[in-house]
A and B are shown apart, each in its own frame.
Chain A
Amino acid sequence: KNQVEQSPQSLIILEGKNCTLQCNYTVSPFSNLRWYKQDTGRGPVSLTIMTFSENTKSNGRYTATLDADTKQSSLHITASQLSDSASYICVVSASGNAGNNRKLIWGLGTSLAVNP
């Protein structure tokens, strides 16, 4: 069964601190892995997208890693800001075919709260 599991479920950190979110997946066939940020009541915003051949990808203060052998990914946030408070969702595309955005396996997300 295709699954994406994330940990921790929720996290509270102080502004300025770093944090790392984890994602484990069992999805086949694997096409790519994305990290999305979703604020409450709004649509997901893409942070990174990685194929199996990519080990790391950065987007500003966000750095994602991917280990396709162990099927694990992480999202590292450096120098956190209050605006980073959101749900961070790991999503794996399960299809190698065109139009693969219709076969997305979503994790339940990590709810991050950044406190002053």
Chain B
Amino acid sequence: DTGVSQDPRHKITKRGQNVTFRCDPISEHNRLYWYRQTLGQGPEFLTYFQNEAQLEKSRLLSDRFSAERPKGSFSTLEIQRTEQGDSAMYLCASSPLRNQNTEAFFGQGTRLTVV
């Protein structure tokens, strides 16, 4: 499979626990994005990497959220001390470093439920 891969697909956790999601982008895609999507809404941008450098973080990304892309390949998104409001679909997307009209290819998402 050469698409964007996310793991796990589903995660149920108790409030206050930490969770970590993984994203494997399309091979050789330099850019990697994390989004959050709640029911009935479009994805909201969280953060963006170009290779291993995290170039932008949305104001939505509170101190409890951290993302890494240590070797410029896969990325992880960690949420500490989860809250019920964190329940959402977390989407990862990647794109090649080409031009401004390069579209993003999305993974299947990780659905997080905080109980």
Contact = CB atoms under 8 A, between A and B. Distances in A.
A98 B100 contact: yes
Nearest to B48: A102
A89 B6 CA distance: 22
Q: Which of A95, A100, A102 has the most CB of B within 10 A?
A: A102
Given A31-B101, A44-B106, A89-B42, A101 B111 contact: no
Contact of B93 (A31, A95, A101): A101
Contacts of B55: 99
Contacts, number: 75
A45 interface: yes
Nearest to B10: A41
Interface string A9-51: 0000000000000000000000110101000011111100101
A108 interface: yes
B62 interface: no
26 contacts: A32-B101, A34-B103, A36-B106, A41-B89, A41-B109, A42-B109, A43-B4, A44-B43, A44-B91, A46-B104, A46-B105, A49-B101, A93-B101, A95-B100, A97-B100, A98-B97, A99-B31, A100-B101, A101-B31, A101-B33, A101-B48, A101-B103, A102-B56, A103-B45, A105-B42, A106-B42
